Amino acid sequence: MVLLFFVVTLRKKKNYAIKIIDFVRDITEEELESELAELDVYRETDSPFIVKFFGVYEKDSSLLIAMEYCSGGSICDIYEYCKLTFNEKQISAVCFCVLKGLEHLHGKNITHRDIKGANILLTQAGVAKITDFGVSKITEKDNKMQTMVGSPYWMAPEVISQGSYDNLADIWSLGITCIEMAEGGPPRGEQTPLRVLRMIPALPPPTFKDPTKWSKDFQDFLSKCLQTKAGNRSVCKELLKHPFIRNSKKLYKKELKSLVLSTISDVTSQKREALQKKNGGICGSSPEKKRNDGEFIIYNAVHFS
């Protein structure tokens, strides 16, 4: 059993997300390995574009993992709960942040392997941050990976069919995430995951349903991410210089602050309602019913089993 709490420290008045792994309750060996592997990756990272890891603490029979709290929710939350898609400036701002985060990861021989809207969080300060390193991989330089992991709709062709791949698989996933932001879901989202796994290596790269809605710069950026042959994709350094991304270096915070300000209320309330429904009406305490636990004020407890 894994629990996620939002807490505020009483002394410093800082917000944290606390993930609690309870060893007394049921937790599979696979889940534990994933959590520990994720910690190994977080220890290697130090970037303003990656969710910050503060430390691991033992308390009784539990492991407490302290993470940065990103109050704006995820990219997926925006279109799922607010029924909104992203405009080009917002997509460019998110892509700038993600590319900076990936540039840091790839420089440390870390491949995320699950870039998608649900794993990109937004802060009220206007920054998009990469999170969830449960299937990420640290490799030796120039070594390739062989395990097929990730989320089917965002998987690169070589991850599915070729048996070996490198960090350029993350670039493909970013391209799919661009379509996800633009259209409110990944391409081929109406298909079953198994069918999509067959389609991705066999068909040309996906594109927008209506390309005329989008600028030539955006379409060109997308094409540089979504190349079937991994070696033809641009790397992070090249994509950060692309005309679609260049201006976001100065403007990304403005665009994302405005987005979070307009959506945070709906995202927070509707996400809480969805979690309560998912957990049979039990989703921990509401913000009005906070619990003082000595050092912390503890808000919403979310159960993941």
Residues 6+ apart with CB under 8 A from 159: 113, 148, 149, 150, 165, 169
Would strands 120-122 and 291-292 be described as parallel, antiparallel, or unpaired? unpaired
Closest to 260 in 3D by CA, of 117, 122, 132: 122
Q: How far apart are CA 157 and CA 229, in angstroms?
A: 8
Closest to 254 in 3D by CA, of 97, 100, 117: 97
SS3 45: coil
Catalytic residues: 114
User: How far, in whole angstroms, is CA 78 from its chain's centroid?
Assistant: 13
Residue with tokens 């996620």: 4
User: How far, in whole angstroms, is CA 217 from its chain's centroid?
Assistant: 24
Distances, alpha carbon 173 to alpha carbons 99, 117, 155, 206, in Å = 12, 10, 6, 12
